[in-house]
Amino acid sequence: DAGVIQSPRHEVTEMGQEVTLRCKPISGHNSLFWYRQTMMRGLELLIYFNNNVPIDDSGMPEDRFSAKMPNASFSTLKIQPSEPRDSAVYFCASSLFIGNTIYFGEGSWLTVV
């Protein structure tokens, strides 16, 4: 079975540019999570969806970040405008339901210069 699929795997962009990260959860999973990982702050939950509805976005750092889940098989995390401090690995993860095992994608490695 295909796992969680993220794209792009690596992105280098200039400060001020828009960045869009994409995620395809495991088929049949109804919960989707976006995490950010940095050396300084470790693994942070940014937002999670249940049945395509955002449940908790309190981890989104500021208004420059937005996430959508237009259907059960696709989600995006957008940063506009991007800043160097946004450089991190962004993980998408999904689970069958909230509280069940979370399965992670390989991550999107973002560098903003």
Kindly list the residues in this chain that would bind other proteins in the complex (CB under 8 A).
4, 33, 42-43, 45, 48, 55-56, 91, 93, 98-107
Output 25 or 105, the one with its CB closest to other proteins.
105
First to last CA, the chain: 36
Output 37 or 64, the one with its CB closest to other proteins.
37
Which residues are within 8 A (CB) of 40 and not within 5 positions of it... i.e. 6 or more apart?
A: none
Least CB distance to other proteins at residue 20 (A) = 19
| Cα angle value 56/28/89 (rounded, 5°) | 50
Least CB distance to other proteins at residue 51 (A) = 14
Task: Give the CA diameter of the chain.
Answer: 38
